[in-house]
Structure 1
Amino acid sequence: REDLEKSVDKNEMSFSGIDLAGLIRKKYGRSYDVQLIKKEFLGKQYLAMNVMWKYREQRSFPLSEEEYLLHLDDVANALKCWGAVSVIRSSLEKTKERPRIGKAVSLFIDMDESGGRANEWINR
């Protein structure tokens, strides 16, 4: 376990829902919801973090601030387990896409060649 922790960037180990919320807010100026999904693209399985079009500042947003941050904590923990925090940080910085009604921004996480590890985490 110690070797694993040493191999992972310290920023990844301390990554939390608040950090994820900050990245999203910095990029888009709003507190968008995120969902983890499994997608097949060109015959290969991927996990993706979708930045959804609903955001916390909307009256119709279904979560309180506390529920939203707890949800983002769950997502951040999954990203840490997958070693995908740096991929998500980089993808958020680089993408020019913005969420809009009916269109999420997908940030792909390549788990492995077969998609087997993806199947361990998300069954849909």
Structure 2
Amino acid sequence: MATGPLTAAEVRALLQQRWGASYDVHLIQRHRRIYLQIMWGYLEQLSFPLDEPTYLARLMDLVETVNQLGKGEAVRTWLRTTTDRPRLGKALSLPLR
């Protein structure tokens, strides 16, 4: 069980273990709140618009922001325990602030 700052490699591994794919992850700000969203698109999809290096760079930036917010452990726990899954037209959403 990992502790300490969240890493991009850990997030990708959790996504793959949980749902079998490297899902697209975004930080969204709405009405002074920040949400982590797991989108329905994924890297292994032929129509996914990013290549692997670009996906990993975006994931690293996102994880750095999550760690700066002090929410690494919350994200780690949520990815391990959420009972929902991303599906077409419905992102998973975790409020961070």
TM-score normalised by L of structure 1? 0.71
| 2:24 paired residue number | 33
| 1:62 paired residue number | 49
| 2:72 paired residue number | 85
| 2:11 paired residue number | 20
**Overall identity of the aligned pairs, in %:** 36
Between the aligned partners of 1:22 and 1:47, the Cα distance in structure 2 is 23
Unaligned runs of at least 5 residues, structure 2: none
Task: From 4, 12, 15, give the equivalent of 1:11.
Answer: 4
Between the aligned partners of 2:13 and 2:7, the Cα distance in structure 1 is 10
Q: Describe how 1:108-119 pairs up with structure 2 within 5 A.
A: 108-109=95-96, 111=97
Larger fraction in helix: 1
The CA deviation at 1:16 is 2.4
**What secondary structure does 2:39 align onto?**
strand
Whether 2:39 is the aligned partner of 1:46: answer no
The CA deviation at 1:62 is 0.7
Whether 2:60 is the aligned partner of 1:73: answer yes
- How many residue pairs get matched? 96
**What secondary structure does 2:30 align onto?**
strand
Residues 37-87 of structure 1: CA deviation (Å, up to 9, x unaligned): 1235xxxx4311100000011101011111110010000100110010000
Between the aligned partners of 2:77 and 2:95, the Cα distance in structure 1 is 11
Higher relative contact order (CA 8 A, sep 6+): 2
Divergent runs of 4+, >3 A: none
Contact 1:52 1:103 in 2 (8 A): yes
